[in-house]
Amino acid sequence: MTSTVRPTTAVVERASVSDIPELITVWWDAFGSEHMQRIFPQTPDGRLWLERAFKQFLGPAPGPNELKTECLIVRSPDTGIPVAIAIYRIVPAGSDAAKQSWRARWPAVDDLPDFSDAAVNGFFSPMEKAHAHVLGDRGHVFLEVLGTIEAFQKRGYGTALVKWGTDLADQLRVECYLDASPAGKPLYEANGYAEQDVSAIIEKQSAASMLRPKKSQD
């Protein structure tokens, strides 16, 4: 008799361009608070911006010494549709600051009336400032986005996506960095991240600056 028990282990894989509509669904579900919708509206303009972003992330690989983006997913075991996403930036040591800026990583909003460039900049810039303060020009793995559709939370999908990055960082012998919401902070602490004090440069943080040390030499 064939078993009907489904595997519970989350399978992390790279997203493809054909997954973009579902990636937008995950983003809107995971980051659908009123505050986030004021910055990243769930409108046709908001969808267009995310389409551009994901196409950029899934585009041709950069040169060997350039910042690299990995767009990862976990699919529903029932439907095969992406229900959790992570966006990682693999930052080589000594990377040019301009290439690390949010304006280089994310699409412009100048032609999208529903967006405010000032609001988007106000969201990214403080985190960018804290990020640079903590890491300087050291090479690292940067977990920029992590989100799971609410109905699929508490199944280990987020943990699997976090572990993908920490495993990569251990292979590369570099640190990991991320900006954590209060809700996400316990997950990151359980995976070796610790909050960093950036009060000297940021008066009021919307997210906690968190660092995971690089693996020690064996």
Q: Calculate ∠ Cα 40-41-44, nearest 5°.
A: 120
Q: Is the pLDDT of residue 100 over 50?
A: yes
State the average pLDDT for the chain.
Answer: 93
Q: Is the pLDDT of residue 77 over 90?
A: yes
Q: Is the pLDDT of residue 181 over 60?
A: yes
What per-residue confidence (pLDDT) applies to 146? 98
In the chain, where does DSSP find H-type helix?
20-30, 34-39, 44-57, 97-100, 102-105, 117-135, 157-172, 185-190
Task: State mean pLDDT over 16-31.
Answer: 97
Q: Is the pLDDT of residue 5 over 50?
A: no
Q: Percentage of residues in the chain with pLDDT exceeding 70?
A: 96
Two structure tokens written together for 4? 């009907």
Indicate whether this model's pTM tops 0.75.
yes
Q: Calculate ∠ Cα 33-34-35, nearest 5°.
A: 90
Q: What is the pLDDT of residues 156-170, one digit of tens each?
A: 999 999 999 999 999
**Confidence grade of residue 218 (pLDDT, cut at 50, 70, 90):** low
Task: State mean pLDDT over 129-142.
Answer: 95
Residue 31 to residue 27: CA distance in whole angstroms:
6
Q: Calculate ∠ Cα 163-215-184, nearest 5°.
A: 35
**Confidence grade of residue 4 (pLDDT, cut at 50, 70, 90):** very low
174 close to 165: Cβ distance less than 8 angstroms: no
Closest CA to 112 of 40, 35, 60, 169: 40
What per-residue confidence (pLDDT) applies to 159? 97
What per-residue confidence (pLDDT) applies to 142? 98
Q: How far apart are the first and last CA of the chain?
A: 47
The amino acid occupying position 139 is G
45 close to 115: Cβ distance less than 8 angstroms: yes
Q: Is the pLDDT of residue 151 over 70?
A: yes
Domains with residue ranges and CATH for the chain: 12-212 (3.40.630.30)
Residue 97 to residue 151: CA distance in whole angstroms:
38
